[in-house]
Structure 1
Amino acid sequence: MNTPRTNVAHGRTLTARDLMQRDPVTVPGDTPLLVVQHMMVAAEIDGVPIVDADGRVCGIVARADLLRAIDQACDQDVDAGPHGPEPGDGDLIGYLGALTAADVAAPDVTWTTPETPASEVARLMRERGLHRVLVGTAPRLAGILTSFDLLRLAEARS
């Protein structure tokens, strides 16, 4: 069994709480998908938790979900017309504009507690091929821990 690394400066094990991003960007499920995409670009993030009116997480929209929505629109033979998108049924922008965050969100999210050692979170993410893990006690979000947060830690230690 691997022993979690300790924070040399403080003599304790680094946890998800130490590395997580607090107060991550979240959106309600009825947020238009194109607004979610714009928010992700503006905030330079690749995933947004979806929350209900009480602040409980009910899914997450990742960059892959946005790409999947575009791919499905193309599979449905949405016609952009010979001169680009045209108003009305059949235009790609109109189709995507009608989708909401809840329409494309992955309902299954992976959680970890704030006290979980960072090494355990890293192992979980690697084994499951995850780019982000929600931190808190489901469905209450305390923060989000991404692969970039773990890379920053590795960079700081090298």
Structure 2
Amino acid sequence: MQTIAGIMTRDVVTISEDATLREAAALLSEKQISGAPVVDAQGNLVGILSESDLLNEARKRAALPRTAAFGFFVASEEILQRLYHDGADLCVRSVMSTNLQTATEETTVVEATRTLISRKINRLPIVDSTGKLVGIVTREDLLKAVFSL
């Protein structure tokens, strides 16, 4: 059975857990990717950040200031703009997904495909025996492998 060692990307784009959401969004846009592993200062894998993490958190935070504890009122445009900008300055660690599914280079293409489908995820970080990030496999990588594209 083919393993993911031959199809994974080894030069992984990562995001620091201390990066702001603005910085992370700029990196994802620049690299034209929809998500990336998040690492701490030592390079250890601590999470995954995807576009949906950025959008969902932005929606939650934007919705919170619109109501008061004792009734409803519409916040001023100035307050909403300040909160929007403050939200963009939040650290990645505050919105990243931490319920991680990882694989090793010995994981088969079939196993990796099952994992992505069953977990409804788009990327699978590949770690070595010490847990260090050594690569990543995406749905696109698996499609290419399965269909030899």
- TM interval, short-chain normalised: 0.7 to 0.9
Corresponding residue for residue 109 of structure 1: 100
**Separation of aligned partners in 1, 2:34 and 2:100:** 14
Answer yes or no: is 1:45 the counterpart of 2:33.
yes
Corresponding residue for residue 109 of structure 2: 118
- 2:53 pairs with one of 51, 60, 65: 65
**What TM-score results when the alignment is normalised by the length of structure 1?**
0.79
**Separation of aligned partners in 2, 1:42 and 1:69:** 21
Instruction: Please list every run of at least 4 consecutive aligned residues from structure 1 whose deviation after the TM superposition is greater than 6 angstroms.
Output: none
Question: How many residue pairs were aligned?
Answer: 139
**Separation of aligned partners in 1, 2:20 and 2:76:** 20
Cα deviations across residues 34-80 of structure 1 (Å, max 9, x unaligned)? 11011101111111111111110111111110111121122213657
Structure 1 unaligned spans of 5+: 1-12
**Separation of aligned partners in 2, 1:141 and 1:20:** 12
3-state SS in 1 of match to 2:65: coil
Structure 1 stretch displaced more, 70-79 or 47-56: 70-79
Answer yes or no: is 1:75 the counterpart of 2:63.
yes
Aligned-pair RMSD on alpha carbons? 1.9
Specify which structure has the higher proportion of helix: 2
**What TM-score results when the alignment is normalised by the length of structure 2?**
0.83
Structure 2 unaligned spans of 5+: 67-74
Q: Percent identity?
A: 27
